Amino acid sequence: MNPLVSRTTHEDGSGQTMSALPSDQPLRLMTVHAHPDDESSKGAATCARYVADGIEVMVVTCTGGEAGSILNPAMDTPEVRADMPGTRYAEMAKAAAILGVAHRWLGFVDSGLPEGDPKPPLPPGCFALEPLEVPTEALVRVMREFRPHVVVTYDETGGYPHPDHIRCHEVSIAAWEACGDPDRFPEAGEPWQPLKLYYSHGFSKARILAYHEALLEAGMESPWAEWLERWDDSRPDPGARVTTRVRCAEYFPVRDDALKAHATQIDPNGRWFAMPMEMQQRVWPTEEYELARSLVGDPAETESAEDGDLFAGIRERVGA
């Protein structure tokens, strides 16, 4: 069993406080991200698939992404630079509409990615420097309002060492643990305990290598060669932690449209779009997750590394 999987119980053996699960209620998925555009680059096709299946999906964005660089040269204009917060908010609204998801801002300030040696200090008042209880209460409030059965966030590395991604993980775990406890944040709404928590895992070495080799076999240039040459094999590969693969290739075009909605961050001529869609769908038709917490069933039975469902073990419980 995944050592991170746990069951939450009180001393008397009873489960943590949780609202009733009537059989006629819709299933609900919440994904928690650090910045606008993260929701479109991490698990967007999964969200689109579940929306199409009638599941309610909410994306929570912890910060406004104000410190993000303009990575698309076509968008690097004085007008955009003069109003990065407004631009990022508009981009996020467009992406959410494309994915068909509800969206909530937690309202914290982007910490930026410190660079240099030594790295500069983080700006005062940013998300990564907020006392943990402050964003935790904010997320608990949204969780208790939306009442998700499944929560998706980042692992302890943040996916990469951006301070906001690491803090997003810390806040998500703290909110998971507090959400169903009536003694924690009593002013934040009626307790509600989500049933499963996953970490999203993006580009494993196996996935990048599969893309690279498929392009070469087709006689095409691969934009992944340099990345593979620089791959640090001493660093743990997130692919080794995957427990659950969700088939969602049909929704890759929706994912790409949502990505392109973040026009300041995504260059439509960049390597993310170098591989033909049909090839992507054939070579790697899934998005990957790691089950980190579960209050339903035996993970060995509910999780599938080939044809997974984030709601496995929950559908049976709620009759959905």
Model confidence over 64-109: pLDDT tens digits?
A: 999 988 999 999 999 999 999 999 999 999 999 999 999 999 999 9
Q: What token pair was written down for 217?
A: 């076999």
pLDDT of res. 8: 41
Q: Tell me, yes or no, if the pTM score tops 0.75.
A: yes
CB proximity list for 54: less than 8 A, separation 6 or greater: 26
Tell me whether residue 5 is in a domain.
no
pLDDT at 257 over 70: yes
Cα–Cα distance measured from residue 318 to residue 45, given in angstroms and rounded to the nearest whole number: 24
Is 158 a member of any domain?
A: yes
Nearest of 288, 291, 262 to residue 35 by alpha carbon: 262
Asked, for residue 255, whether it belongs to a domain, the answer is no
- pLDDT above 90: residue 31: yes
38 known member of a binding site: yes
11 lies in a domain? no
Predicted local confidence at residue 10, as pLDDT: 35
**Residue 160 has what pLDDT?**
86
Q: Looking at the domain assignment, is residue 52 inside a domain?
A: yes
Per the structure, how many domains does the chain have? 1
Residue 165 annotated as part of some ligand binding site: yes
Q: Which residues, in sequence order, are bridge partners of residue 149?
A: none
C-alpha angle with apex 307: 302 to 311, nearest 5 degrees?
A: 45
Residue 214 CA, chain-centre distance (Å), reads 27
pLDDT of residue 272: 83
Is 57 domain-assigned? yes
Count of other CB atoms within 10 angstroms of residue 273? 16
Report the alpha-carbon distance of residue 40 to residue 234 in Å, rounded: 29
CA dist., res. 19 & res. 16, Å (int): 10
Is 212 annotated as ligand-binding?
Answer: no
Amino acid found at 182: P
- Report if residue 220 sits inside a domain: no
Give the residue with greater pLDDT, 50 vs 301: 50
What domain range is 169 assigned to?
28-203+285-318
Question: Residue 36 maps to which CATH number?
Answer: 3.40.50.10320
**295 in a domain, yes or no?**
yes
